[in-house]
């Protein structure tokens, strides 16, 4: 270890795992504190979207950490959107002219585990069952709690890097210290996950190399393939109105909705009623924050800084780009002497905040396109013409 300095990451999720790897590879001494248990031992307990679309932005960041090969080994390629429309039937809308422009479906749990192995291999120290509870920014001490036994541990830090997700405890601590301007806008729509299992022969039930969409105007279903030949189906519905999660509440309600609006999917989801009743409704919102750092003592990245709705499939991709940018700015502030962390955090925020805002806006716009416009024959024709 060249001893560039010590950094403490809060959260060993997707951004935390990648950032720890990049920083440790570049010679920083890194401690990572994660509130959950080690998923490599206890199994993944993420509780949100089982698979994710990995695009070139995210892949580029994984390449920088040398983790792309291990991730792609278990990923399923998606060459376009397979639109299941009520009038036109199934239609594949390619993402590019050929398979050089594709996205990848990856398992959140496997990706997280790959990144934790990479972080540890690079020399980062991982501490599990350690939830950030409070921060004393003057004394530079953070308090962590082990929720399995209630034990509290104090940790002295040089700087805290907040990769602790949309409900970030570090963001709350920074906000109460420095009065950040925070706005959280709920989309008014939620989601629920269901599963399409493999066929009796162990094969995919529908086209494997596509992101499937059933657009239905104000709501929609999507399905992404998993490498064990299942699909994770996500039903997006408004929280109020007709239909909505307010009136589609039971398995029987869900079956009736599917029989009416997603009839071709019904035979493929044998456990529809049970899955619907046992899986929670996830909520969706956009987080707008006017500042991401507190001088050289703390900085936020990923969902902790800019949570967004998932319709561009870019939350993780954007979080991965943050990791590379932050590692680059930290390196640039170093020049062999004591690193100027405040300058690095400021430069990181200046570069990434406008990008995050742009992606957040695109993600909101894309919900309209996915649930409605991809079902519009004129729109499809126009898109195909533009591509030629």
Residue ranges in contact with ligand FAD by CB under 6 A: 10-16, 33-36, 48-49, 52-53, 131-132, 163-165, 169, 191, 234, 282, 302-304, 310, 313-317, 319
Q: Which is nearer to ligand FAD, 169 or 269 (CB)?
A: 169
Q: Which is nearer to ligand FAD, 10 or 370 (CB)?
A: 10
Count other C-beta atoms under 10 Å from residue 192's C-beta: 20
Distance of closest approach, residue 260 Cβ to ligand FAD, in angstroms: 24
Distance of closest approach, residue 336 Cβ to ligand FAD, in angstroms: 31
Q: Which is nearer to ligand FAD, 177 or 343 (CB)?
A: 177
- The pair of three-digit structure tokens given for residue 198, joined into one six-digit string: 């493999």
DSSP labels, 325-341: HHHHHHHHTTTTSS--H
Q: Which is nearer to ligand FAD, 324 or 334 (CB)?
A: 324
Distance of closest approach, residue 316 Cβ to ligand FAD, in angstroms: 3
Distance of closest approach, residue 61 Cβ to ligand FAD, in angstroms: 11
Distance of closest approach, residue 160 Cβ to ligand FAD, in angstroms: 10
Q: Which is nearer to ligand FAD, 32 or 344 (CB)?
A: 32
Helices (H) and strands (E) in the chain, counts: 12, 19
Identify the residue whose tokens are 């049970």: 274
Identify the residue whose tokens are 């716009």: 365
Q: Output the CA torsion 198→202→204→208 (10° steps).
A: 130
- The pair of three-digit structure tokens given for residue 164, joined into one six-digit string: 């602790």
Q: Which is nearer to ligand FAD, 232 or 333 (CB)?
A: 232
In the β-sheet with 141-145, what is the strand arrangement from edge to edge?
A: 131-136, 141-145, 152-156
Distance of closest approach, residue 42 Cβ to ligand FAD, in angstroms: 12
Contact 82, 92 (CB under 8 A): yes
Tell me the residue number closest to ligand FAD, measured at CB.
Answer: 13
Identify the residue whose tokens are 């950094």: 7
């Amino acid at each position: 270890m060249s001893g560039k300095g010590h950094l403490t990451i809060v959260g060993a999720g997707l951004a935390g795992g990648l950032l720890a790897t990049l920083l440790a590879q570049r010679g920083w001494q890194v401690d990572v504190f994660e509130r959950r248990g080690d998923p490599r031992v206890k199994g993944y307990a993420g509780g949100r979207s089982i698979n994710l679309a990995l695009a070139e932005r995210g892949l580029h960041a994984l390449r920088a950490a040398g983790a792309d090969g291990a991730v792609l080994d278990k990923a399923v390629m998606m060459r376009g959107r397979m639109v299941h429309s009520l009038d036109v039937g199934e239609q594949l809308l390619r993402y590019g002219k050929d398979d050089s422009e594709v996205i990848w479906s990856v398992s959140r749990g496997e990706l997280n585990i790959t990144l934790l192995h990479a972080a540890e291999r690079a020399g980062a120290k991982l501490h599990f069952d350690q939830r950030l509870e409070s921060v004393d920014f003057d004394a530079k001490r953070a308090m962590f709690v082990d929720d399995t036994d209630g034990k509290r541990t104090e940790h002295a830090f040089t700087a805290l890097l907040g990769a602790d997700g949309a409900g970030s405890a570090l963001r709350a601590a920074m906000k109460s210290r420095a009065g950040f301007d925070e706005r959280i806008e709920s989309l008014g729509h939620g989601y629920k996950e269901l599963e399409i299992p493999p066929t009796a022969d162990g094969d995919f039930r529908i086209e494997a190399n596509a992101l499937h969409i059933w657009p239905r105007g104000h709501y929609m279903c999507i399905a992404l393939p998993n490498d064990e030949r299942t699909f994770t189906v996500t039903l997006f519905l408004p929280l109020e109105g007709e239909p909505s999660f307010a009136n589609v509440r039971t398995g029987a309600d869900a079956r009736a909705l599917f029989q009416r609006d997603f009839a071709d999917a019904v035979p493929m989801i044998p456990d529809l009623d049970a899955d619907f009743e046992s899986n929670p409704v996830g909520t969706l919102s956009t987080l707008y924050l006017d500042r991401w750092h507190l001088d050289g003592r703390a900085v936020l990245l990923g969902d902790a800084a800019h949570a967004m709705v998932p319709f561009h499939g870019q939350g993780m991709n954007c979080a991965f780009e943050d990791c590379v940018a932050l590692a680059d700015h930290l390196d640039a502030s170093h020049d062999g002497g004591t690193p100027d962390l405040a300058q690095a955090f400021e430069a990181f925020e200046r570069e990434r905040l406008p990008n995050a805002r742009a992606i957040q806006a695109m993600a909101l716009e894309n919900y309209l396109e996915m649930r409605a416009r991809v079902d519009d024959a004129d729109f499809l024709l126009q898109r195909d013409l533009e591509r030629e």
